[in-house]
Structure 1
Amino acid sequence: MRKIIAGLFISLDGVTEAPDQWHFPYFNDEMGAAVGAPMMDADTLLLGRKTYDSFAGAWPDRERDAGEDAAFAKQLGDMRKVVVSRHDLKFTWRNSEQLTGDLVEAVTALKQQPGGTISMSGSVSVIRQLLAAGLLDELQLLVHPIAVRTGERLFDDGDAVPLKLLSSQTFSTGVLNLVYAPAATPGAAGYDEAKAHLPQ
């Protein structure tokens, strides 16, 4: 079964909204490599409509302009792009299609199709739903050392979401590159269990 790997820029206080307003001062070669790595093995992008609109409004022009990022723009253009939306969409960016039907059922079917890794960028509401359904295999959080204080956060009110840390890396900018996978709910414990680990 294909893997779904999602990546997000996130602030220290959990904000993921409008990273273009606070993220770029922290972008360096380390982050560029970390962001690009999941794309290298992927042949499909799964995106929410807002993220898709942002990508489609920028990357085709960058490919046509043949600038420094044209090769990456072409790679994105060549990939299959599957867009989650409740509304009928019309596409101008090549290799784009709309996910139809129930999200969980449709993504389950997508994972069962032949192909490589399915990559996600942004699309917080979709990531939440896939985590809850157990369909997300890895979640890469690029945690920026800034408290944005306003905007949509990754996790809203609801049930706990247990995760296990797969890898961690600290960039020279102070950004943490943390990769998580879903985990089983930890067993019940309280202070009586914890106090055994305190200094005596």
Structure 2
Amino acid sequence: MRKVIVSVFASMDGVQENPHEWSLVYATPEYESYARDQLFAADALLMGRVTYQGFAESWPSMSEEGPAPDDFTHRINTMQKYVVSTTLDEAGWTNSTLLKGDPAEAVRELRRQPGQDILMYGCGELARTLTRHDLVDEIRVWVHPVVLGRGESLFTGWDETRFCLAGTRTFASGVVVLAHTPIPAAEKDHRLP
């Protein structure tokens, strides 16, 4: 069964809003390599409307040309993308499929299909819904060493959700990736060893 991996950038005070405005200063070669490995371990992106619209507006215009072609940009632009939205009528970005109806059932079906991981950027309403239905296998929070003091917080609107630490990765720039697996709702009284 395919895994759904959620990857989200956050400040030390838990802000996830507009990460492109504050995260790039921390992008060292090891950071970029980890991001690349994460992307290439997946063969599909899963997005809600807000993430899709932001990505579809910016990624297609990014250059894949030059002496060292940008395989990260090429991968995002050409891989399969699934968009969960009740308000969009179409998803025009290359290889995008609009998923209507019950998002949990649609993602459950995607997980049953053969393939690599399904990668999801951001931790908004769709991630919350899928986690509530035990459809998220791991959440990777990239904590950046900056306090913003304003902006949309990580996990806004979530119900109590418990996690087990799956791993950490620390970069020289001070960014720490905290990987957690959600504990299924049926095991919410689970005690750690």
Query: 1:45–1:81: 8 Å Cα contact kept in structure 2?
Result: yes
- For the pair 1:185 / 2:185, whether they are aligned, the reply is no
**What is the root-mean-square deviation in Å for CA atoms of aligned residues?**
1.9
Structure 2 CA distance for partners of 1:123 and 1:180, relative to 1, 3 Å: closer
Query: 1:62–1:69: 8 Å Cα contact kept in structure 2?
Result: no
Query: 2:5–2:139: 8 Å Cα contact kept in structure 1?
Result: yes
Specify the alignment match of 2:176 in structure 1. 176
Query: 1:84–1:98: 8 Å Cα contact kept in structure 2?
Result: yes
Determine the C-alpha separation between the residues in 1 that align with 2:158 and 2:49.
23
Instruction: Classify the secondary structure of the residue corresponding to 1:57.
Output: helix
Instruction: Classify the secondary structure of the residue corresponding to 1:47.
Output: strand
Q: In structure 1, what residue type is equivalent to 2:2?
A: R
Q: Give TM-score, length-normalised by structure 2.
A: 0.88
Specify the alignment match of 2:65 in structure 1. 66
Specify the alignment match of 2:114 in structure 1. 114
Specify the alignment match of 1:100 in structure 2. 100
Instruction: Classify the secondary structure of the residue corresponding to 1:160.
Output: coil
Larger radius of gyration: 1
Q: Give TM-score, length-normalised by structure 1.
A: 0.85
Determine the C-alpha separation between the residues in 1 that align with 2:160 and 2:117.
27
Q: Percent identity over the alignment?
A: 37
Specify the alignment match of 1:82 in structure 2. 82
TM superposition shift of 1:97: 0.9
Query: 1:7–1:35: 8 Å Cα contact kept in structure 2?
Result: no
Q: In structure 2, what residue type is equivalent to 1:33?
A: S
Q: In structure 1, what residue type is equivalent to 2:72?
A: F
- The count of residues paired between Structure 1 and Structure 2 equals 187
Q: In structure 2, what residue type is equivalent to 1:185?
A: K
Query: 1:62–1:70: 8 Å Cα contact kept in structure 2?
Result: no
Query: 2:86–2:101: 8 Å Cα contact kept in structure 1?
Result: no
Determine the C-alpha separation between the residues in 2 that align with 1:69 and 1:9.
25
Specify the alignment match of 2:46 in structure 1. 46
Structure 2 CA distance for partners of 1:158 and 1:43, relative to 1, 3 Å: closer
Determine the C-alpha separation between the residues in 1 that align with 2:10 and 2:167.
17
Determine the C-alpha separation between the residues in 2 that align with 1:54 and 1:187.
38
Determine the C-alpha separation between the residues in 2 that align with 1:35 and 1:185.
31
Structure 1 unmatched ranges of 5 or more: 189-200
Determine the C-alpha separation between the residues in 2 that align with 1:116 and 1:167.
20
TM superposition shift of 1:91: 3.1
Query: 1:47–1:123: 8 Å Cα contact kept in structure 2?
Result: no
Structure 2 CA distance for partners of 1:52 and 1:157, relative to 1, 3 Å: closer
TM superposition shift of 1:124: 2.0
Determine the C-alpha separation between the residues in 2 that align with 1:55 and 1:134.
26
TM superposition shift of 1:46: 0.2
Specify the alignment match of 2:130 in structure 1. 130
